[in-house]
Structures are given as C-alpha cells and as structure tokens.
Structure 1
Amino acid sequence: MSKRLKKLIFSKLFLFSALAGLFVFIIVCAVFMRYIFSGLPPVYEMEEYTPAVTTKVFDRNNNLIHEFSIEKRSMVPLEDIPVDLQNAVVAMEDREFFSHPGISIRGIFRAGLYDLVAGRAKQGASTLTQQLSRGVFLTQEKKLIRKIREVILAIQIEHKFSKREILQLYLNEIYLGSGSYGVKAAAKKYFNKELSELTTGEAALIVGLIPAPGRYNPFANPDLARQRRNLVLDVMQQQNYISQEELEKAKKEPLPEKQPQEEAQPGQYFIEHIRRILEPKYGMDVLWKAGLNIYTTIDIKEQALAEQIMNKKLQEYDEQVAKGLGIEIDPNDAEADTANSEEEADTQTPKENYPRLQGAFMVRDVKTGAVRVMIGGRGFDESKFNRATQAKRQPGSSFKPYVWMAALQKGYTPATLVKDLPTMFYYDGRNWRTFNENSDLYSLDLAKQSFIASKDFNVWVPKNYGERNEGWITLRKALEKSKNLVAVNLIDAIGVGEVIRVARKAGITAPLPRVPALALGVSVLAMDEHLAALTTFANGGIHTDNYYIERVEDANGRILEQHVPIEEAAFSPQNSYLLINMMKGVVQRGSGAYVSRLGRNIAGKTGTTQSHRDMWFVGMTPHTAAAAWMGYDDDTSHENGARFTGSTTARWWTEIMQEILKDEPNDDFAVPEGISFAYVNPITGKLAMPSERNKFLEAFISGTEPQSF
C-alpha cells in the first residue's frame, strides 16, 4: 500500500474519530445541560413565590393577639425597611449589586482560585441574587452542580425582576438565626423593636448575622457580635453610606444583653380553640405558613381583665381551703400561675401540699353568639385542657331553668303554687316511680325501709339545700330559692321527656339521663354548650350557637370564610320572658343576690352539685351572657377546708362583669306582646288586695292571670 493511500486512510479515520468524539461530546453536554436545567424551577415561579409567612390572629377591635408560625417571618415592602439596613446589606454582601447581571465574574474567579489553593469548595463569592436563588429554590450544599444551577437561576432572576424587587425579597427571606427569617422578624427577636425603630448600629448588627447567625449571635457571643457589627459599620463608612461621626456614634451603642422575653399573652385557651377549629379545615401548612389573617370575636382587653380577676380570686379560695386543712402557706409567695420564670416557680408553695381549685369563664353576645372571653383554666402553660369547652361537669341547679321552661309550656305561671314537700322515688327495675302516701321526711324514712331490704328496688329521697321545705310555694319563689324538692316534683309531674325536649331545643346535645334527678343537674355538660342554651331564653327564645371567628382572609386579603348568622326560634318570646323575669329574681332576692350589687337588670342561676364538686353561676343582661365555674379537676370536694357554692362563684363572676359591663347600657329585657302584669300575693299566688303591703308585680301571658284574691 502506497504512502499516499495510507495517509488518506489515516486522515479519514482521524476525521471520523474527531467527528464521533465531537458528537459524543455534544451528546454528553446536552445530557449534562438537560440534567442541570431539569433541577431548575421555572423562573416565573418567583413571581408567585410565597415564603412561609406568619398567620395573624386579631381580636374584635383588630388588635393583633397572636401569630401562628413555624418560622418567625413577615413580608415587608422595601420602602418600610430602613435605608441604613439596605445599605449595610449591599456594602457587606454585594457592593456591585446594582451593576452586575446577577453574578460577579471577578468574584467567581477569585473564589475559584481560593478553592483551588485550599483543595476544596470553601469560598462563596455569591451575589445577593445568587444567595436569593439558593435560599428560595436550591439547597445549601457546596457542590459544583448546585453552583452552576445557582448561576443560571441568578441570571434568569435578574432578567425577570428589578433590583429593588430582588433586594426586597432577599431582605424578607434571609435567615438570621433563632428561627427568624427576614429583617422584621430579626428586629423583633434581637431588639424587640419594629424595623422603623432600629438605630444604625442595630441595623449593622442584624446584617452582621448573615454569614453565620449562630457565631455572631449577641446573646451567645457578644464579643464576636460586636466585632462583626463594627466591621459592618467600617465598611459602610468606607463606602460613604454613613459619616465618620455616625460611625463613631453607632459603635458606642450597647449590644442587647438578654433576649427579649415573650410575655405570657392572655387568651391562650381561645387561641388553641381557634387552632382546633381551623387546622383540620385548612391543614397545618396553610394555617402555619400561608400568612392568613384571622379575625375573631374575642375582646382581648376584657379577656386579660377576666383572667387576672379569676386567678386572683381562686388563689384566695385556695388559701382558705389550705387554712381549713391546717396547711401553712407563706402569704408572700406569689401563685405559680403568675411566675415569670422557672426560678420563680420553684419558690412557690408546692401545689401538692394543698388543694388547687380550677376555674373556667366564658362571655358571649346574647343575640349573635359571638364569644368575647374564654378562660379554660388558671394557666395555659400549666394545663392546656380547656375547661370551658372540653370539660364535662354536672351543672347542678343551673340546669333548673330547663325544668321551669317545661313547666311554663305546660301552662304553669310564675304564680302557680308548686309542691315543696319531700318525695321518695323508687326504681322498680324499669321506671322511677314516686311513693306519695306520706308527706314528711320521717314517714318517708320509715316507708323506705321495706324497699331497702329488697335488691330489686333502688330508693332516692331528694332534699333541699339546708333540708328545709316550705310546703307549697310559687313557681317564682321556688326558682329564686333553688328548691330541689320543687324541681323533682315538677319533673315528675311534667315528665322527664318534656324536660329533655326543652333542653334539646335550647341547644343541649350532651346525653341526658331519663331519671328524675335530671332536674337537679346530674347530667354532665360542657360550659360553652350550657351557656349558649341558657342564653336562648334571654334572646326571646331564639337560639344562636357560639361562634369564634368573624372571617378568615388569605395573605392577599381574599375572604376564605365568613361567619353567617343562623337563628332558630326555639321557644315563644312570652314563655322566654316569663322565665327570664323569674331568673332576675334569683339575682334580686335569691341564691345569686351578690350579683345585685352591680345595679343592673341581670337574670341568672347558681348551681352547686353534690358534695360541692362543681360551683356555677350563669348570668345575662339583654346584651351579654357569661358563665363561671369552679371546682377540682379530680372531682373531689375538700369540704373540710372550705365549703363553696354557686353563690361563691357568683362573687367573682360579679367582679369580672363589673369591668366588662361598665360601658354597656343598663337596659331591661324587652317585654314582648301578649304579656300582662298583675299584683299577686307572693305566698298564695292569688291576686293581691290593693291594701296589701307585700304584693308583688308579676308577669303573665295575657289571660293566665289569677282571677281571685
């Protein structure tokens, strides 16, 4: 083969190899670039990018009362961020920010040379835009692939967005330690200030945190933090962002010595209740990260006052109980509820040394059902169990209004004479029956002996509080004096089923036992349901459910949900007025008389269960209704220390409501059509003679007034 032929063949082989190699190189590059770009998000997503921002909760007066957040973060327009802070970021992190196309070629070469000498990827050389692309879309790994993607994405971002938009997002997105994202959260975290209040030195300290928030944390490493802050200030002065005088002044500013303590905020049981409502509906990510605005019904000022008064009174009662049990309590010890630190709490009298009362309190609007105050216990940090919504307790005599309403529906009037006489009930294996052959306790005690001997019978002989009975008294007086015997005789005459129907129509959904003792409140009810049901009578027989949220908006102000009022006519306005008018007598002359010192038209009912385990007071004006409960979580009574009743609860109910009602007009309950008034003898229930001194002006449904004297 000639040399010429060999040369030709060799050249063709070389050309073929070169072309094949080039083809392979192109294929490899294409695959590599496809891999690179496959890991990049579309840059248009930046326009829709929404970082995890704080969900805000507002009270009825638009006061911010809570924030739901996994990351402490708030979005702030650039114009609301101090110029010193903007300048400090540019000076320290990217002095060519306003001139480069998203990357710094000189910085990349410098970082590459440094990394080559160091033998590993160490130098950053990232512009603000690169840092933003990494923080929003990419990982923090120091890998070549990630770096290439970061550069490409930074160039795309610069092409799509203005420098001001990029700087704004960067300042709201950057992590600054202690769970704080963005400069607004950092200002609050380190200085407990709004952005507008930051000094030049404080702005420099925040910017100094960016490379290593843990290392330059002023609380953990004050010396390093001061050095870093001063370096930021020096660079700002060198780049003519601040004068020499401003530099010296800023360097003299003290560093924050102690992280601002977040004060225990009122309304934590309410906030948790809101979370329990909304989290299942929207999901955890939306509630905690989507920046919702939740407008609630609570009045945070009233809430704070109510918490303070209730805790104070229950602590006083605790001390009474302890004294009765012979337990010494240092009066200088502050109660553990109000301790501001673990060290303070350690100085308290140990709680296990004496019984500790718990309490719950709730206020709602009579007509709308809007809940203004909710207290679920003496301290949310101590116990997150909400005794206003989650606890089921016996209502005692505060259940009696349902019995009285059933009587009114059966034709009774407030002046009807009812039996306040001993009655024995026995259970024959199928039903509860009354034993009526005797009318005094002694005779009943003798009569029941034959039943006690039989295993087939259960016997129950109810008694009045104080074991006194008055024979026959008016329906009004029986409610005012909270007569147990009248209640059980009424339910026996009317039927347990009728009372249950009334309770259901009022709004009670809890199981109700079909026993005569239901009249004395042996069922278990949640406070929120009981309050809503009793408020039905104050609202002219119209039932409205409690509600807690007025509306929920997304981060852009779009309404996601809004409260729609639902009213249900449960009882006639006439019967409702008669019952409320009798319940006013409970406050004026009966077991809730302490409340009368408010000087208002208030209808109410006390409740005390067996062995003083539960003590209630529920009261209402034409506009506002409130329920108070106190007792022990372990359902014991501790009667040896102090004997509390519903009248005791009415005392601190009164103290709280004195504050809550001070701006409310002192209106009386409206008298509906079909109601007439007549003077009656309060003992006989008949019409009173004009000359009688103790006559009482009673309300009746027109046509049911007594006809004889």
Structure 2
Amino acid sequence: MFWVKKIFWWLFYLTAAGTLVGLTALLTAYVLVLETLPQMDRLEDYQPPVITRIYSNDGTPIAEFYRERRIIVPVSQMPQALIEAFVSAEDANFFEHQGVDLVSIGRAALRNLQAGGIVQGGSTITQQVAKSLLLTPERKFSRKFKEAILAWRIEQRFSKTEILHLYLNQIYLGHGAYGVQAAAENYFAKDIKDLSLAECALLAGLPQAPSRYSPYHNLTGARERQRYVLQRMVNEGFITSEQADQARNEELTIHARNQNFLKETGYFTEQVRRYLEQTYGSDQLYTAGLQVYTSLDLAKQQAAHQAVRANLREYQRRHGFPMPSRIIRPTEQEDFLSRQALQALQPHAELEVLVTDRDQQGLHIRYGAAQGLIPQDRIKWLEPFQLVDNATETPGEITRKIPRGALVRIRVIQQDRQPFLADLLPEPQAQGALVALEPDTGFVLAMVGGYDFTDSQFNRVTQAKRLPGSAIKPLIYAAALDRGFTAASVVIDSPVIYNRTSSDGRRERWQPKNYNNRFAGPTSLRQALTQSNNVVTVKLLEEIGVGYTLTYLKKLGIKSPLNRDLTLALGSSALTPLELATAYTVFANGGIRIEPSYIQRVLDREGRILESIDPADFPSGLLANQRLVKPRRQRVISEETAYLITNMLESVVEEGTGIRARSLKRPSAGKTGTTNQLKDAWYVGYIPQMVAVSWVGYDKEKPLGPQETGAKAAAPAWINFMVEACKSWPIEEFKIPDRIEFHPIDRTSGLLTAEDQPNSFIEVFAPGTAPQRYASDNRQPQAKDFFRWE
C-alpha cells in the first residue's frame, strides 16, 4: 500500500507540475503573441474588395471589373436554409461555442488519425473569419494559436449574425466567386434570396475544396458533397429527412453566369475601364465597388453588334469561304463530340459544329449528340465546293474544298426537329466598326470596334486611323460655304494636272480623277457632293486654301495630323471613325461641337456620387472627392452652314451615292467614303436624333475587292443598325433655321430662274448669299474653272 500511495503522489506531483509548466508556457506564449496580434478594427470597418459594375443608360448591368468577384449582402437577405447549411457543414456548434470548439477539434483529430491524413478540419466559422481577414494562411502552430485567441476576441466583440455576415461574404467558393451572392450568380444565375434548399446545400459543400467539387467540372462530386450537407442538416435538426430526400432528388441545372454582354459591349466597356483607371486609379477600379452609369443604349448597342457582324459575313460570302482553323481527325471525332458542351439549341444560337457529310439535302453537321443539317439553299453562295477528306489550303485561305471534321460556325434556324436546321456562318477576314452619337449631348449610344471583342480587343472606332476617302468631303464643302461659296456655285468638272513632290522627294504629276473616269463639265456644289465628284472637290479646296481648310477641320473636331496638300480633298489623311462622327455631329447639332462622352454618373460602394454630368446631383455644392463633368459644348460654325450641309447630304441620300439609305424611310443625311484601291469603305449618316459611322476594311490594309465601295461594303451595316435603332423614335425633319432663304435656280448655271422653268430647282441659301443675276441674262454664268498645268 505504501508503494502505491507513493506512486500516486509522485504522479500527482508530476501532473500538477506538468500542468503548471504547461499553463506557464501557455501564458508566456499568450503574452508574447499578444503584441503581434492584428487589430480587429478591420472587422469593424469591413470593406473587402468588391466588384465595380458598369450599367447602360437604363440601369442594365453590362460589365464588371474586379480582383475578387464579391457582392456584399446582409444576412437578413440570405435564406435561413443557406445559413443552416453552412453552419451544419462547417461548424455545427457555432451558436453555442465562444470561438473555439474543443469537441470538434478532438473529433477532427481522431478522424484524421483514423484516415492517416487530414480529412476534416476543426476550425470554427469564427476561426475561419480570423484566418481569412486578420492572418496569413500559413500552416504553423503559431498561426493556429493566434487564430484561437482572435476567434475568442471576435466572439466577445461581435454578435453571431455579424460573424456570419463576415464569413458568408468573405469565403471563396470557386471560379472567381467570393461570398455567397457571387456564387449564386456564378452557378445558378440567381439572386441569393431565390435559392432552393438543394442549391443552398450545394453551395455549403464547396468551402472544403472549391476546385475539387466544382459544379462545372465535377457535378457528381458536388452532388455527393451536397448529400453530406443535407444529412448534417438532418442530424442538427434544421430539416426533416423528407425535406432532405426532396432536395437530394431535385434536378439541378448549373447555369453559367451570362457573360454575353462581353461580346456585345466589350469595346464600349473597355473604353469606360480605361477612363476609370486613369481617373480613379487601378485599386479603386478593381476593388472599390464603383457603380458606373454610362451613356450606352443597350438596345442600340445590340443592334450595332448584330449589324456589323451580319454585314461582315455578307461581305465574306461575296468573296468565298475561309478555310476553318480547326479540323478534328476521324479517330478523335467521337471523343471530341462526347466532350463538347451541349448548349441548348435555341433559335439564333451561334455554335461551333463538326462537318460530317454532304448530300443533296445539304451539309450534315454534329453538335455533341445532336445531328444537324445546313440545307442546300443556305450554301448556294458557297457553290461550287467539294467535301474532301484532307485539307490542302492553309487556315483562312479562301477555299472551295471543305474537309470532313472541320469545325465551322453556324446559326440555329430550327431546333425542334431532327436533324436541327442551321445556317453556315463564314468567319470574316475583314473587320468592321460602327459608332453612334447623340448630337445634342455627345453621348456614345453604341460602339462596336470589330467583329469579335473576345478575339481582338483592338478598338477600330477609337484606335484605327484609316483614310476616310470621300467621307471627308462634307467637311471641305462646309469650309467652302463659309468662304463665300453656295450649294448653287458652279465649278467646271474638267481634267486638271498638278506638279507635286512625292514622299521620297521626287517631283511628279498628279491628275485627280472621278470614280467613273468621266467629267461632267459645269457642276454645282450640290451635284458634286451628291455624286461624290473628286475633281470638283480638289478644285474647290485649291480655291479656298489648304491652310484655311486644315484650321476649319480642326475646329470641327478632327485631331489627327492632316496632309497639307490637295490630296486632302480625297481623304488622304488617316483619322478614326470617332473623329469623323464627332465632326458630323456639328452638322446634326446646328453648328455646335460637343466632345463624345461615355459616363453619366459614378457612385462609390455606399451610393455616394463621385462624378456626374448633372449639377442637380450636387445640391449642396461639390465636396473634395466629387466632380461635375459637363461635356464641352462650343459653337464652331453657324446654324445656317450646318443646315446647308445637312440639306446637301439629304440629296446624297435621295439621288446620289447614299441612295441605299432611302430604305430607312425617314429623313436622313449621309455620305459614302471609298479610298483608292478600295482599301477602306465608309458610310456616315445621321437623322436629327443620332449620328452613326460605319467602316469596313482589313487590319493589314489591302483592297476589299472589285466594286466594294462605301455604298456596297459599309452602308448596309449602317442601314440595318438604323432600322432597328430608330424604331422607338418618331420620324422628324431636320430643323430649318429661321434665316435660311429658298430661291429657284437654274441647275446648269446656278443662277436665279423662274420657278416654273423646266430646269429650275429650289435651292437653299444662307441669308444674303443667293445669286443676284438670272440665268436668262445674256452674260455667261460665273462658273469656276481652276485648270492647272504647272
């Protein structure tokens, strides 16, 4: 008995000493760690990185910029089932413990020991908040010790609801989604409050391994994890077994978050992104949760996007089918099709499909398990062509031989039949651009900088400087009107030759010619602009002076360097479509130039206005971090000159090179533009409510092909866009200034005549500029002939 008692006391003293040493060590560690613990003020002012959202002018989201895709939502807006699912899966005793759950730690240690590895963690939700927001993710005992201390402190300072708010908005749930709201949008395309029990349980299963249980890549694994969460909810008494069974059997459809706006609005939103980064800095742009309301009209943007793409495809159909860039070998086709994501076959959906065969019905295709057919009448433009086994052409080369296994793009025509019907879409080799401005505000309503933003981010509206060709002529004619000419002034269209110095310093002769290689003799300025006469425009420029004209064009909004010679008349100086659109808005806006703008209002994450174009947004005046940004307006030409050019450009539409635009069936003014060797095709046109510019060309400049003028290659996109874009607007006539005069003139001489004469025409004049003589006078008309042979 003595030895037993002695051993007992020895054990007692050793245990007490060990406990004392352990407590001393623990206390010492606590004291040492105490000074290194981070402050919890960051939790009080929880402002994690959140997304910046860009909106169209009607408040529709069109783009997002972020480093962490997070949308903060209060716990009060989260379904109770979501909270219970996360608590059951991650921390069943969350509502009872004080930050650290010793029972869970012991249970996790036992399971990990049995499994021979880490299969379960013992961290509470509070500890995860401490680690995520206050500590580094390093795997060290010191970090776990700090984590436990901080978790206890957090529990003393914050309510359980506040801790859940931090946790559910901070946690990473895969595929760039931080927080439950972003994850709900990512996987289900839903708002958090609309999630079902099954969907809540699936999200709650993701924190352990978001990539391993990704619903996109491993739906089976995600469903297994979901079933585990549901069982935990049953065990904790949050739901019944019947509710769990119903949720397990619920069919889940994973809807990837709709990002189609990237294709449709990418060029515009990239311009906005650049402005925001320059104005507010990179950190503000990607982390501060700005709310940016822009000038973009989403319906018009979609119409512009479709018009540019359809026009480029139609152009490509006229010039042949480009060899597809991808061909799947016969031995790999079934495997490829089995892995091909089967997008729902909706009408007008564009898909990449596999070419399998051809017969009298047409071209046979496959998309996943679905069989499709491109009917023969849909590929008549491609004839004659052959379906072959091997490709002989290089990708992009125009071909008449399509190999089996080629991947081509199609548009679904009819999906509710077998095989489904489709149309073949050639991938254009040329590029296009379209920009639309509101004249009286300068707002950019639509901007398409190329065929596909995801393929090329180069914005041809703002970055591509191309020769405008004849589209520059209205600007020169406006300069002439302000130099004493009128729409009735007559210039002799006759041969003229100039000596000039070439770019390499050689002296050479230059003889401008008209597109049809003919000369019309006496030609009024209206007729010359209507028919896009080159020779008359060159003579006109010589008369008014190149220097004067350069200054005039700069005044209209042309910022690019311009050639200081007579080739300026034919559009020999490169500029951007946006510059040209800005200049034309002066005519549409009664002589007032206004700088194009994209932004209407910028708010911070709290809804405070940082920037606005409306003074009413700042009733108490501007604060230090606020900006009133009013688009610059400046009268640069008279209202009368602006109207005279508009009226002349109406003639271009009614009986000249822009006659295709008559199909708009409303008053419009416009001008085609075609450059030498047909490398650039333009159409610039406007109605009272909007100016739009359409351009087509190759990035690596080369001819578009025979007859590919502005009227043929560029105008169709403008027309198709305007038909859709103008549907909501009433038909309006261009406003006529009060001082404009109308007089009957003789078409040939440009002099006054009786209104009932067969060759008479009612011409418009600025006040006091109409001719004083009549065509019936015996004296010769004062036609201008600037013949030169120097």
TM-score range, shorter chain: 0.7 to 0.9
**Structure 1: stretches of 5+ with no match in the other structure:** 1-21, 330-336, 431-454
Structure 2 Cα separation of the partners of residues 546 and 197 of structure 1: 41
When residues 585 and 261 of structure 1 are mapped into structure 2, their CA distance, relative to the original with a 3 A threshold, is closer
Matched, 1:486 2:536: yes
Structure 1 stretch displaced more, 220-229 or 676-685: 220-229
SS state of the match for residue 679, structure 1? strand
Amino acid across the alignment from 2:642? S
Q: List per-residue Cα deviations over 1:393-427 (Å, max 9, x = no partner).
A: 00001101121111111111111112322211112
Matched, 1:169 2:166: yes
Amino acid across the alignment from 2:49? A
Amino acid across the alignment from 1:305? A
Residue of structure 2 in register with 1:689 after alignment: 754
Structure 1 stretch displaced more, 122-131 or 360-369: 122-131
When residues 579 and 78 of structure 1 are mapped into structure 2, their CA distance, relative to the original with a 3 A threshold, is same
Matched, 1:551 2:601: yes
Identity %: 40
Q: List per-residue Cα deviations over 1:224-272 (Å, max 9, x = no partner).
A: 4333211211221222222232122111123557866754641111122
Structure 1 stretch displaced more, 128-137 or 687-696: 687-696
TM norm structure 1: 0.86
TM norm structure 2: 0.77
Structure 2 Cα separation of the partners of residues 116 and 169 of structure 1: 32
Amino acid across the alignment from 2:591? G
Matched, 1:394 2:460: no
SS state of the match for residue 696, structure 1? strand
Structure 2 Cα separation of the partners of residues 127 and 210 of structure 1: 13
Amino acid across the alignment from 1:651? P
Residue of structure 2 in register with 1:291 after alignment: 289
Q: List per-residue Cα deviations over 1:292-334 (Å, max 9, x = no partner).
A: 11111111221112211221122111111228xxx899xxxxx
SS state of the match for residue 351, structure 1? coil
Residue of structure 1 in register with 2:731 after alignment: 666
Q: Is the 8 A contact 1:321 1:638 kept in 2?
A: no
Q: Is the 8 A contact 1:358 1:377 kept in 2?
A: yes
How far the C-alpha of 1:638 sits from its partner, in A, is 4.5
Residue of structure 1 in register with 2:624 after alignment: none
When residues 50 and 342 of structure 1 are mapped into structure 2, their CA distance, relative to the original with a 3 A threshold, is farther
Structure 1 Cα separation of the partners of residues 117 and 501 of structure 2: 90
Q: Is the 8 A contact 1:55 1:292 kept in 2?
A: yes
How far the C-alpha of 1:561 sits from its partner, in A, is 2.2
Q: Is the 8 A contact 1:322 1:328 kept in 2?
A: no
Structure 1 Cα separation of the partners of residues 113 and 310 of structure 2: 69
Structure 2 Cα separation of the partners of residues 646 and 262 of structure 1: 34
How far the C-alpha of 1:65 sits from its partner, in A, is 1.0
Structure 2 Cα separation of the partners of residues 658 and 403 of structure 1: 29
Residue of structure 2 in register with 1:279 after alignment: 277
Residue of structure 2 in register with 1:86 after alignment: 83
Of 744, 748, 763, the match for 1:679? 744
Alignment of 1:228-307 (within 5 A): 228-256=225-253, 262-263=259-260, 265-307=263-305
Q: List per-residue Cα deviations over 1:264-291 (Å, max 9, x = no partner).
A: 6411111222222222333333212221
Of 536, 544, 562, the match for 2:586? 536
When residues 266 and 381 of structure 1 are mapped into structure 2, their CA distance, relative to the original with a 3 A threshold, is same
Alignment of 1:146-165 (within 5 A): 146-165=143-162
Q: Is the 8 A contact 2:468 2:673 kept in 1?
A: yes
Structure 2 Cα separation of the partners of residues 115 and 339 of structure 1: 50
Please report the RMSD computed on the Cα atoms of aligned residues, expressed in angstroms.
3.1
Structure 2 Cα separation of the partners of residues 645 and 233 of structure 1: 64
Amino acid across the alignment from 2:194? E
Q: List per-residue Cα deviations over 1:514-546 (Å, max 9, x = no partner).
A: 010101100000111111012112211111011
How far the C-alpha of 1:69 sits from its partner, in A, is 2.3
Q: Which has the higher strand share?
A: 2
Alignment of 1:116-195 (within 5 A): 124-195=121-192
Amino acid across the alignment from 1:277? Y
How far the C-alpha of 1:651 sits from its partner, in A, is 2.5
SS state of the match for residue 286, structure 1? helix
Amino acid across the alignment from 1:147? K
Residue of structure 2 in register with 1:211 after alignment: 208
Number of residues paired by the alignment? 652
Structure 2 Cα separation of the partners of residues 691 and 644 of structure 1: 38
Structure 1 Cα separation of the partners of residues 107 and 311 of structure 2: 70
Q: List per-residue Cα deviations over 1:333-362 (Å, max 9, x = no partner).
A: xxxx98545979999994332672211001
How far the C-alpha of 1:643 sits from its partner, in A, is 3.3
Residue of structure 1 in register with 2:439 after alignment: 366
SS state of the match for residue 596, structure 1? helix
Structure 2 Cα separation of the partners of residues 38 and 117 of structure 1: 38
Q: Is the 8 A contact 2:755 2:761 kept in 1?
A: no
**Structure 2: stretches of 5+ with no match in the other structure:** 1-19, 325-347, 356-364, 368-373, 375-381, 383-394, 400-427, 613-628, 775-790
How far the C-alpha of 1:217 sits from its partner, in A, is 2.9
Amino acid across the alignment from 1:51? P
Residue of structure 1 in register with 2:13 after alignment: none
Q: Which has the higher helix share?
A: 1
Structure 1 Cα separation of the partners of residues 30 and 201 of structure 2: 41
Residue of structure 1 in register with 2:480 after alignment: 407
SS state of the match for residue 264, structure 2? coil
Structure 1 Cα separation of the partners of residues 305 and 723 of structure 2: 14
Alignment of 1:504-515 (within 5 A): 504-515=554-565
Residue of structure 2 in register with 1:592 after alignment: 658
Matched, 1:226 2:271: no
How far the C-alpha of 1:112 sits from its partner, in A, is 6.8
Amino acid across the alignment from 2:562? L
Q: Is the 8 A contact 2:744 2:753 kept in 1?
A: yes
SS state of the match for residue 605, structure 1? strand
When residues 149 and 510 of structure 1 are mapped into structure 2, their CA distance, relative to the original with a 3 A threshold, is same
Alignment of 1:411-426 (within 5 A): 411-426=484-499
Q: Is the 8 A contact 1:552 1:561 kept in 2?
A: yes
How far the C-alpha of 1:209 sits from its partner, in A, is 1.5
Amino acid across the alignment from 2:98? P
When residues 278 and 541 of structure 1 are mapped into structure 2, their CA distance, relative to the original with a 3 A threshold, is same
Amino acid across the alignment from 2:445? R
SS state of the match for residue 401, structure 1? helix
Residue of structure 1 in register with 2:675 after alignment: 609
Q: List per-residue Cα deviations over 1:93-132 (Å, max 9, x = no partner).
A: 2222223222224445556777899999986322211111
